[in-house]
Amino acid sequence: MKKIIFAVMVLSAIVSCNQKPANEEPVSMMGMDTCCVVDSLRDGVFIHITESYNDPHRVLMPLKMATMMAMDKKVLVYMDIKAVELLVKGSKDLTYLDFESAHTYINKLAEMKVGIYACPTCLKIAGFKPEELMEGVAIAQKDKFFNFTKGRIITLDY
């Protein structure tokens, strides 16, 4: 019986310590090297796509996720390796089962002002030039990888 009472007391203490009052301000970690105000920053999602025509599911799933996430998060889409083939003018569109096409997602993301970036080296290896990229797609710049959001950066890699 003592063990049960002890367990209930420990559980109660844990639950009460994890409660956050409704009017509590975001946490600030003053006095540290950096100051983080967690609730006021907008988190970002970095989506990395490497596949192309040979694996449409691995292309369209992250493009769909980018479109959905961009509704309330900052999103950056980085495409390299084979994926750059999909980003040039005149490229064949990619479709698969219940997804919208690759060009549809890319156009939606561009309209939403989501950064869509192609690896310059991969583009060159694939035989394309930067001026051949679709409207709304740019050459990747390393600064964009860190500056597209002020919050945390979550990475999804396909």
Q: What are 96-105's pLDDT values in tens digits? A: 999 999 999 9
Q: If we measure between CA atoms, which residue out of 66, 65, 84, 83 comes closest to residue 75?
A: 66
At residue 13, does pLDDT exceed 80? no
What pLDDT shows up at residue 96? 97
User: 52: pLDDT confidence band, cut at 50, 70 and 90?
Assistant: very high
Q: Where are the alpha helices (DSSP H) in the chain?
A: 2-17, 56-69, 102-111, 120-125, 142-147
At residue 18, does pLDDT exceed 50? no
Give me the residue spans of the domains in the chain.
41-157
41-157: CATH topology is Hypothetical Protein Ychn; Chain: A, (3.40.1260)
Tell me what the mean pLDDT of segment 106-122 comes to: 97
CA distance 81 to 95: 19
User: 6: pLDDT confidence band, cut at 50, 70 and 90?
Assistant: very low
What pLDDT shows up at residue 98? 96
At residue 70, does pLDDT exceed 70? yes
What pLDDT shows up at residue 25? 42
Give the DSSP letter of residue 112: T
In percent, the amount of the chain with pLDDT more than 90 equals 64
